[in-house]
Amino acid sequence: MRPTFEEDFEPPFIVIEPSQQTTAFVFNVPHAGAVYPESFLASSRLDPLALRRSEDAFVDELFLNVVEMGAPLMTARFPRAFLDLNREPYELDSRMFDGRLPPYANTRSMRVAGGLGTIPRVVADGQEIYRSRLPIEEALRRIDWLYKPYHRTLRHLIGRTAQTFGHAILIDGHSMPSSFGGRDEAKADIVLGDRYGTSCTGALTDIVEAVFRELGYTVMRNKPYAGGFITEHYGEPALDRHALQIEINRALYMDERTLRRRADFEILANDLAEAFGAIIQAIDEDWSPRSVAAE
C-alpha cells in the first residue's frame, strides 16, 4: 500500500551540491520543511499557522550561500510537526497510536514525555496536534519513507566527506524562539550546541563562537540547546567526525507571530555567509586533511 503522503513529499528532502566539494563541511537543516499535506491538515485540530510554530522557518534559505563555498546543504521538505528528524527513529508516544508499538520503540524518553517524539504529539508551544489517535502503521510508514532515507543520505554525505578529506564537520542549522528560557537565553542571538564538548573538538566551537562575536552577535553555548539526536549521533570526534548545532534567534530575521521574513532578513543572510566563509577558511587552513588510503 502506498503511503498517503508519498506524492506530497516528492522529493522528501533535497541535497544541494556544489559543482565540486572543496571543504570538509556538510550543512544540514532538518526542521525548515514547509510542505503540509491536505491529509495531515485534515487530521489536525490546529490551523496551518499554528502547525508552523514548530518550523525552523527559512533557515534553509539563510544557509544557502554555503553551497557557493564548496559545501553540500541538505534540507527536509516535510515539516517537523509531521516527523522530527532530530530524534531517535522510534521515540514514540504510545498514547498517540492505535495498535501495538514495536518492542524496540523508546516510549519513555524525556522528549516523548514532553510530546516531542519522532512523531510529535504537540507543536512547539504545547498545543496538541491531532484530533484523534493515529494508526501505528501510519507512524511506521513515516519512519520508513521519510526518516530512514533522510538519515541514510546524511550518513552517506558525511562518510563521503570523511573519505575525501580525512575528516568531516557537520553543521546542523536550527532556529529558536526569542522568548525561550530565562533572561540570559532570551538575549542570545546564537546558541552553539556541542553536547557539552562531546560532539566536536573544542577548537571548532571556539572558532565559530569567535567569528560570530566578531560580527557583533551574542553567543551562548549549550544553554538552553546542547544539541539533539543529530549532533549526538553524528559527532564522533575520536573518528575525526565532528557535529555542531547552531541555533539562530528568530527575532533576527522574521516576525514570530506571522512567520514572515523581516526587512533585515538579507542582512542576517549576508552575515551568515561571511561567518561561514570565515569559519570554513579558518578550519580548512588549520586542519590539514589526512591522507586517505586508496580503495
Q: What is the pLDDT of residue 179?
A: 80
Give the per-residue pLDDT at 6: 75
**40 pLDDT above the threshold of 90:** yes
CA 97, CA 105: separation in Å to the nearest integer? 13
Q: What is the DSSP letter of 68?
A: G
Min mean pLDDT across 138-152, 259-273, 275-289 is at 275-289
The pLDDT assigned to 186 comes to 53
Q: Identify the structural domains of the chain with CATH numbers, from first to last.
A: 13-286 (3.40.630.40)
pTM (predicted TM-score): 0.94
In the predicted structure, residue 142 carries a pLDDT above the cut 60: yes
- How much is the average pLDDT of 118-140? 96
Residue type, 41: L
What's the pLDDT tens digit per position in 121-131? 999 889 999 99
The pLDDT of residue 210 is above 50: yes
Q: Which residues of 250-261 are buried (b: 16+ CB within 10 A; e: fewer)?
A: bbbbbebeeeeb
Q: What is the pLDDT of residues 229-271, one digit of tens each?
A: 999 999 999 999 999 999 999 999 999 999 999 999 999 999 9
Contacts 24+ apart (CB under 8 A), 137-143: 137/99, 139/92, 139/96, 139/97, 140/102, 141/3, 142/3, 142/5, 142/82, 142/83, 143/83, 143/89, 143/90, 143/118
User: What three-state secondary structure class fits 248?
Assistant: strand
Pairing of strands 254-255, 260-261: antiparallel
